[in-house]
């Protein structure tokens, strides 16, 4: 039985008609064409599909779209404004915390949620917040650097090339 639902994604309201088994990830990627949200395993094990429900990171591949009726969702596309990247996005570029980039949207959203809740996290708190996000390329070292830098840009990362970090 198909259902009509309303999803509020990155501040915009979308009307969808979906069967109840459609996941939020499928709704976002396939129905709405927002491809920034990634699907790495579709069984809730890798974190690539992470989106924010309110301020909370959730796994969109194991969340049903119909459960998100009327709720506010942020995807990776919702963090930048025009050519301007969010501080967290900039920090990931600066720290070299991006390689293949497939896990990056999910990791950045989990990190963004962490700083909203805890603006000055220590390394252990960062690890706790990102424990559900697999990254195969970076070994996580630069990801930790990026989150620390986003929280406190006066740290040791080089900010000389900052004006070049834009779309």
Partner 1 sequence: MNGLKLVGKSVLRKDGPDKTTGKARYTVDVDLPGMLVCGIKRSPHPHARILRIDTSKAQKLPGVKAVITGIDTKGIKHGFVETPRYLPDQSILAYDVVKHVGEEIAAVAAINHEVLAQALKMIDIEYEILPAVFDVEDAMNPDCQVHIHPNHPRVKENYCNIAGKTQTQWGDIDAGFKEADLIHSDRFESHLRTHGYMEPQTAVADYRGDGTLHMWISSMGHFNKRKKLARTLKMPDASIRIHKAYVGGAFGGKIDLFSHEYCVAALSIKTGRPVKYVASREEIFIAYRHGQPLISEIKTGVKKDGTIVAQQLRMINNAGAYKGSGVVIIFLAWGFTMIPYRVENFKYEGYSIFTNNPTRAPLRGHGAPQVRFAIESHMDIIAEKLQLDPIEFRLKNARVPHEELPNKDNVHNCGLIECIKEAAFKTDYTNRRNLRPKTDRLDDSNPIKQGIGLGVSAYFGGSLIYPNGSSAIVKMTDEGSVDLLTGAIELGQGSETVLCQIVGEELQLEMDDIRIISSDTATTPPDIGAWISGMTYVTGNAVREAAAGVRKKILQVAAEQLNEKTENLKLANKSVWVADNPEKRVTYQDIFQASITRQKGDTIIADGHWRTMRDEPFHPSLASTKGRWTENYAFSVQVAEIAVDTETGEIKLLKATTVHDCGFPINPQLVQGQIDGQVSLALGHAFMEDVMMKKGYTLNPSWLDYRMPLIHNVADSKGVDVITENYQTGHSFRTKEVGEGLVSAILAAIANAIYDATGLRLYSTPFSPEKVLKGLKQLKKNRGLL
Q: Which residues bind partner 1 (CB under 8 A)?
A: 29-30, 33-43, 45-46, 48, 75-77, 79-80, 85, 89-90, 92-94, 96, 98-105, 108, 126-127, 130-131, 133-144, 158, 161, 164-167
* Smallest separation (angstroms) from partner 1 to the CB of 54: 19
Please identify, using beta-carbon distances, which residue of 5 and 108 lies nearer to partner 1. Answer: 108
Please identify, using beta-carbon distances, which residue of 48 and 68 lies nearer to partner 1. Answer: 48
* Smallest separation (angstroms) from partner 1 to the CB of 42: 7
Cβ atoms within 10 Å, residue 140: 16
Please identify, using beta-carbon distances, which residue of 38 and 65 lies nearer to partner 1. Answer: 38
Please identify, using beta-carbon distances, which residue of 69 and 80 lies nearer to partner 1. Answer: 80
Express the helix, strand and coil content of the chain in percent, nearest 5 each.
Answer: 35, 15, 45
SS3 (DSSP) at 163: helix
* Smallest separation (angstroms) from partner 1 to the CB of 68: 19
Task: Write the CB contacts of 126 (distance below 8 Å, at least 6 apart in sequence).
Answer: 111, 114, 144, 147, 148
Please identify, using beta-carbon distances, which residue of 1 and 70 lies nearer to partner 1. Answer: 1
* Smallest separation (angstroms) from partner 1 to the CB of 83: 8
Q: Are 147 and 127 in contact (CB under 8 A)?
A: no
Nearest CA to 48 out of 57, 40, 36 is that of 40
| Terminal Cα distance for the chain, rounded | 42
* Smallest separation (angstroms) from partner 1 to the CB of 13: 20
């Amino acid at each position: 039985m198909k259902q009509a639902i309303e999803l509020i994604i990155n501040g915009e309201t979308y009307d969808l008609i979906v069967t109840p088994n459609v996941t939020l990830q499928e709704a976002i990627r396939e129905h709405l064409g927002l491809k920034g949200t990634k699907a790495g395993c579709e069984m809730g094990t890798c974190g690539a599909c992470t989106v924010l429900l309110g301020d909370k990171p959730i796994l969109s591949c194991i969340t049903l779209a119909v459960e998100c009726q009327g709720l506010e969702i942020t995807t990776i596309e919702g963090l930048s404004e025009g050519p301007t990247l969010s501080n967290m996005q900039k920090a990931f570029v600066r720290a070299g915390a991006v390689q293949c980039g497939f896990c990056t949207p999910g990791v950045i959203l989990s990190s963004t949620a962490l700083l909203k809740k805890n603006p000055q996290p220590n390394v252990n708190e960062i690890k706790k917040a990102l424990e559900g996000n697999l990254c195969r390329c970076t070994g996580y070292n630069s990801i930790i650097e990026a989150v620390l830098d986003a929280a406190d840009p006066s740290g040791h990362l080089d900010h000389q090339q900052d004006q070049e970090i834009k779309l």
